[in-house]
């Protein structure tokens, strides 16, 4: 893993209640991890979900692609790397990878495609968000 290849990195840890009967993180929990990191990235960039909502702008996920490579277990510490790119004039994508620490073993690769809906419910990417897109 090359930490320089990500626009944003965020460290987290697995909590006991996130694991299933097999003792590994339940597959659905990874989407929570990914969403939390997307929110942290946007917050660091000065974009507030609550401010957007008050303005009638809603950021929505339209597609989620997750490739599970290995499992996390209770107590594992992991790093989520994120890159944010434009997919089309009205869509953007978060490319996110999860790596277990300290060995940097790849756990998950994800591509989360989204858009922003304006006050009329039509796709429209706000200028502040568009400025972050590569």
Q: Choose among 73, 61, 74, 75: nearest CA to 110.
A: 61
Active-site residue among 2, 20, 51, 103?
20
For residues 53 and 76, give the distance between their C-alpha atoms in angstroms, rounded to a whole number. Answer: 34
Q: Is 97 a catalytic residue?
A: no
Q: Which residues are known to be catalytic?
A: 20
């Amino acid at each position: 893993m090359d930490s320089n290849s990500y626009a944003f990195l965020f460290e987290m840890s697995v909590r006991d209640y996130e694991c299933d009967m097999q003792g590994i993180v339940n597959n659905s929990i990874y989407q929570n991890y990914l969403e939390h990191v997307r929110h942290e990235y946007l917050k660091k960039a000065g974009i507030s979900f609550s401010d957007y909502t008050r303005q009638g702008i809603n950021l929505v996920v339209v597609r989620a692609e997750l490739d599970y490579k290995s499992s996390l277990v209770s107590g594992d510490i992991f790093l989520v790397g994120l890159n944010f790119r434009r997919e089309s004039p009205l869509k953007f994508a978060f490319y996110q990878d999860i790596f277990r620490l300290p060995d940097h073993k790849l756990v998950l690769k994800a591509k989360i495609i989204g858009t922003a809906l304006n006050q009329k419910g039509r796709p429209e990417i706000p200028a502040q968000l568009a400025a972050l897109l590569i």
